[in-house]
Chain A
Amino acid sequence: MKTNNIAAWEEDSFWREVVAVLTGGKKLRGEHYLQNLSGEELEQLRSALSAPGTLSDQQKLCPARRGGKTDGELPPTSLLSPISQAVREVTTLRALQRQDIIGKATKDRCGELGIDPTLVNAVVRIVGEEALRQQAENQVGPFAISAANVLLLAEGMRTKSKQEEVKIDLKKDAEKRQNEKLKLDRDKFEEIKKKAAQLDQIKALRDPKAALNDADRKAIVDKVDEVLGIKKK
């Protein structure tokens, strides 16, 4: 029913969108079925078109036409069919928009938590696609599985790179230990060389054929004197 020359559908954003789909962005004919329906009747029509059953079943639930030659008659299915299609399109577009809002909020929240945005985008898309798939197939299932796979894959990649880092660290440690071992070996070698030199020196001192110097002779005499108890005066 018209009120102040403004049709009820014009005051409702959902029906404005439906009419835009129906007309392709053009003006709705003055005598169109929707033009004369009140707000309550539009709601009745929306409920009727979402009811289960065929279009003929739904037709019986629709509000009657108003005005003109066909006043009081039920709208024909040929008229209901494009309206039903347009309602379905707008409902899908609205559901998608809601999904986008949820996706954006998820991305913002994950961003605050410092989660990789590329990964978050991929997961949000996958969850969204899965939700759409279920809507298209009219069923509910485990729609986080694909997203979980992406997370696991990313986690796996992270683990792999972590493992590589650990490997590099271990390799560095091994090189460090090897260098320390080489240094110890070198020190040991130097020690052995030093000992060998000392042995050579001792050997030379112990050689009975070696000529005695004055200090040696004096040391022997002192020792003999000490053994014999001869005290020097």
Chain B
Amino acid sequence: MIDQDIKKFVLRLLLRKNGDTATATEIKLAIRSAFNAALTEGDLDNYIEQLEANNYIAGTSDDLSGTLWALTPKGKIRAQSLSKS
């Protein structure tokens, strides 16, 4: 359950970026801030990899900042549906 919550959180996080990107470090630190759970770096990497595998997010490489992540169109639609109340 927490896995799904974390992945939804990442989608919401990237949606708030309004098309801007986030580094993997930024995403992982935000997860650590928002979830009071014992998560390893491997766990956090897995969430990002799963979201990428599901085509919700896509990464581009940057020399100074490493990989920068953004929502794909599919990810944006999913994130928007999660943010409605």
A contacts, CB < 8 Å to B: 10, 16-17, 19-21, 23-25, 28, 85, 88-89, 91-93, 95-97, 100, 118-119, 121-122, 125, 128-129, 132-133, 135-136, 150
Q: How far is the CA of A21 from the CA of B25 in the complex (A)?
A: 23
CB distance from B40 to the nearest CB of A (A): 14
Q: How far is the CA of A85 from the CA of B29 in the complex (A)?
A: 16
Residues of A within 8 A of B33 (CB): 92, 95, 132, 135-136
Partner of A97, one of B8, B16, B83: B16
B interface residue count range (under 10 / 10 to 19 / 20 to 34 / 35 or more) = 20 to 34
Chain B binding site: helix, strand, loop or mixed by DSSP? helix
Residues of B within 8 A of A10 (CB): 85
Q: Are B36 and A24 in contact (CB under 8 A)?
A: no
Shortest beta-carbon contacts, A-B, top 9 = A132-B29, A20-B85, A122-B64, A136-B32, A92-B34, A16-B85, A136-B33, A25-B84, A19-B85
CB distance from B65 to the nearest CB of A (A): 5
Interface flags for B2-38 (1: CB within 8 Å of A; 0: not) read 0001001100110011001001011001101111100
